[in-house]
Amino acid sequence: MSTPVADMPATDIPVTAPKTNRVRVAVTAPDPISREGVRSQLRRQPEVELCESSGPATVALLVEDTLDDAALARLRRTVRGEGARAVLVTGAVREHELIDVIECGVKAVVWRREATAQRLVQAVLTAARGGGDLPADLLGQLIGQVRRLHRGGADEPGFFSGFTKREMDVVRLVAEGLDTAQIALKLSYSERTVKNVMYGLTTRLHLRNRAHVVAYALREGYI
């Protein structure tokens, strides 16, 4: 006769290990080869669940060859529109692009040359927890920019005091009554860049429109 489960010693009762929560990751890239390359790196990692075309993602992993205006717009849309935490895989981030990347809400940056499965998983898990993960050289660059901004004081407005230099240039011209095309021509930017600058300001500072941006800049003493 078999022994009832209730009478079995505790060590004889089978125990099922609890399932760990896997981080849902959506991968986007400018070409299918890059996208599938990253997905193949993550596919067999037990901590990660790859999202298909539908379903919410906890972390959005974006592969970008260059950080042009379109790439920055995609980063903003991913973080603010879809609510995902962003991991950026790229070849380089130039100094003037770094603040833009941080502004977009990117939690982690991985150099393409270092994008092994282990490195990608580390960045994804850190971003999922709400932490930050920057390469050492990029972190040093960011610290340097912060120090320069603090030393600059009121004469050198920057991201941490409300506006970047590029934003200041655009807002001053808006205050002078120039339209998007005129601002783009005067600053040698594309019209899309000017629109992205204004969009970034209104969303980050919770302002309604251009007039509200100018009023804010005047009130805070930036122009």
Binned at pLDDT 50, 70 and 90, residue 16 comes out as: very low
How much of the chain, in percent, has pLDDT values that exceed 70?
A: 81
Q: Hey, which bits of the chain come out as E strands? A: 23-28, 48-50, 59-64, 85-90, 106-111
Do residue 134 and residue 172 come from a single domain? no
Do residue 78 and residue 124 come from a single domain? yes
Domain with residue 117: its CATH number is 3.40.50.2300
Q: Residue 146 falls within a domain, yes or no?
A: no
pLDDT at position 13: 43
Q: Which residue has the tokens 């940056």?
A: 109
Do residue 119 and residue 82 come from a single domain? yes
pLDDT at position 162: 61
Strand partners, 60: 26, 86
Q: Residue 149 falls within a domain, yes or no?
A: no
pLDDT at position 160: 42
pLDDT tens-digit map of 128-162: 988 888 888 887 777 766 665 555 544 444 444 46
pLDDT at position 54: 57
Output the pTM of the full model. 0.59
Domain with residue 209: its CATH number is 1.10.10.10
Q: Residue 182 falls within a domain, yes or no?
A: yes
pLDDT tens-digit map of 62-74: 999 888 888 888 8
- The domain in which residue 165 lies consists of 157-219
Do residue 167 and residue 129 come from a single domain? no
**How far is the first Cα of the chain from the last one, in angstroms, to the nearest whole number?**
89
Last-in-domain residue among 82, 104, 139: 139
pLDDT at position 148: 59
The mean per-residue pLDDT over the stretch 87-97 comes to 85
Last-in-domain residue among 83, 111, 139: 139
CB-based contact 58:32 (threshold 8 Å):
no
Q: Residue 162 falls within a domain, yes or no?
A: yes
Provide the domain count of the chain. 2
Do residue 107 and residue 60 come from a single domain? yes
Q: What is the DSSP-derived secondary structure letter of residue 204?
A: H
